[in-house]
Structure formats: C-alpha cells, structure tokens
Amino acid sequence: MVHVTYRVVRHEDGWAYTVNGVFSESFPSHAQALAAARRAATEQRQPGESETIEYEDERGKWHIERAPGRDRPDTDVEDSA
C-alpha cells in the first residue's frame, strides 16, 4: 500500500502543507494549515469510483491506466510546529 505524508510547514508569510515536495496554498495561521492538511489526508483515503486516468510522467510520456476506486493510500499528517 502507498503511504502519503502531509507535512505542515512555514511557507511565504504564513503556513502551508506539502506532499511530495508540492506546496498547498498558503494559510494565514498554523491552525488553518493543519486543519486543511488533515482534511486533505482524510479525503485522499476515501474510496471513490473506478475510472480511467491519463497522466504524463517525468520523461514526457503519456500513460492511460484504470484507477480502482478502492485503491487508496494510507495517509498521515506531520506537524513541524
């Protein structure tokens, strides 16, 4: 099973969370960023509909795959404060 960690960090003039090096939008307070990270982590664990997805990899090659709706990652939130 894939594991995804949301990390709450200082960002710009406020706070944000990161996942795999990508920042969320900035939040004015730590509490808001932490709440948003917890919401996102919870939502990502929720099963959905199976569907066909298309994506481009780091080499610029496009892929088409069937994404099972029940194949959801395990998630957690780390707080740097």
State mean pLDDT over 41-49.
92
Tell me, what's the pLDDT at 71?
85
Provide the 3-class DSSP secondary structure of residue 44. helix
Give the CA distances from residue 5 to residues 24, 48, 56, 65, 68, in Å, rounded to whole numbers and listed in that order. 13, 20, 23, 24, 21
Query: What is the model's pTM?
Result: 0.76
User: pLDDT band for position 78 (50/70/90)?
Assistant: very high
**Domain extents for the chain?**
3-51+62-79
User: pLDDT band for position 67 (50/70/90)?
Assistant: confident
For the chain, the average pLDDT equals 93
Q: What percent of the chain has pLDDT over 90?
A: 80
